Structure 1
Amino acid sequence: MGLLVFTYKTVIDAPIEAVWTFFSTAENLAKITSFPRVTILSNPETLEGNTIQMKLHFAGLYVNWTSKITYVHAPNCFIDQGVKLPFPITEWSHTHSFIENGSRTIMEDIVMFNAHVTSFVMRPILIAMFQGRELAIKQEFK
């Protein structure tokens, strides 16, 4: 299909240090992701070289996902690269960027991926997932 790119921005009412601390563990990824539900099965730390194993829950079905943290530049950015991905995804690289904006933080997610289905199918799934995360993040930093 070719590499596809999806971006999503979230403005968080918290300083960059607090946002970085929150995203320094994949346990909080599980906390803010309701679709699909996520269970972390390994060391959750956002450390360069760390491999994070997850189980994704889809209405009674379970699939495994393994990502490796390939780059960390605290408190501004980290990248996770898909190692073992569920169908239909064949490639996944997710850059998490954090930009200080006064007492707020702008978080930008850039996902580069390849899949066995078109962006017409994947885009609504990613939008739903990131919108759900945005709502949970805003609740977390009230």
Structure 2
Amino acid sequence: MRFIIITPVAMDYQQVAQNFGKSLFQALNPPFPPVKLLRFDGNAKGDEVHLELNFIIFKQVWKSLITENNTNSKEIYFVDEGIQLPFFLKYWRHKHRIVNKSSGAAIIDDITFRSSFFLFDFLLYPVLYLQFLYRKPVYKKIFQKKRSNNS
């Protein structure tokens, strides 16, 4: 299964990319399940991100490896792939794209996932989609164009 969420923001794509770090990652986490960041190396190839998801009655560890990253005049992107996933996921690939636009940037979350059972994918789809839809207002708030002192 795959979904793509596009969020236009007013800030330059290079500035957006510079702020794709640990504090942004923590701000993007939805209220449920609570996420504890165990390790955050960064967004370069070979970096790892480790999380603990707290589902109240049980916890799950999620480890991702950054498998690609690239910068050019049109976009900056990096890809994280799951190397240890919660029991309900068998495959995870998330391409984070920050695309250069004349009026700022577009942040594109391009996510492909699979569970153990094809039918379960359809149940997971709206849950995961809503988890990432939660990011849109956070991105917009964080990546507003900085106002000058005169405004």
Matched, 1:32 2:28: yes
Distance in 2 (CA, whole Å) between partners of 1:32 and 1:95 is 16
Distance 1:60 1:102 in 2: 47
Among all aligned residue pairs of Structure 1 and Structure 2, give the percentage whose two residues are the same amino acid. 25
Partner of 1:137: 139
Q: Look up the match of 1:13.
A: 10
Greater mean deviation of Cα atoms: 103-112 or 117-126:
117-126
Unaligned runs of 5+ in 1: none
Structure 2 portions without partners, runs of 5+: 145-151
Moved more, 66-75 or 113-122: 113-122
Q: CA RMSD in A?
A: 1.8
Does residue 43 in structure 1 map to residue 40 in structure 2?
A: yes
Verify the 8 A CA contact 1:30 1:37 in the aligned structure 2: no
Greater C-alpha radius of gyration? 2
- Asked if the contact 1:40–1:54 (Cα under 8 Å) also holds between the matched residues in 2, the reply is yes
TM-score by length of 1: 0.86
Compared CA separation, residues 26 and 60, structure 1 to 2 (3 A): farther
Q: Deviations over 1:41-79 (max 9, x none)?
A: 123311210121111233464211000001111361100
The alignment covers a number of residue pairs equal to: 138
1:1-142 → structure 2 map (5 Å cutoff):
4-23=1-20, 25-34=21-30, 35-59=32-56, 61-74=58-71, 76-117=76-117, 118-142=120-144
**Mapped contact 2:114–2:121 kept (Cα < 8 A):** no
Normalising by structure 2, report the TM-score: 0.82
Distance in structure 1 (CA, Å) of the matches to 2:50 and 2:79: 15
Residue 88 of structure 1, CA deviation: 0.7
Relative to structure 1, is the Cα distance of residues 100 and 58 closer, same or farther in structure 2, using a 3 angstrom cutoff?
A: same
Please state how far the C-alpha of 1:141 moved relative to its aligned partner.
Answer: 2.1
TM-fit CA distance, 1:9: 1.0
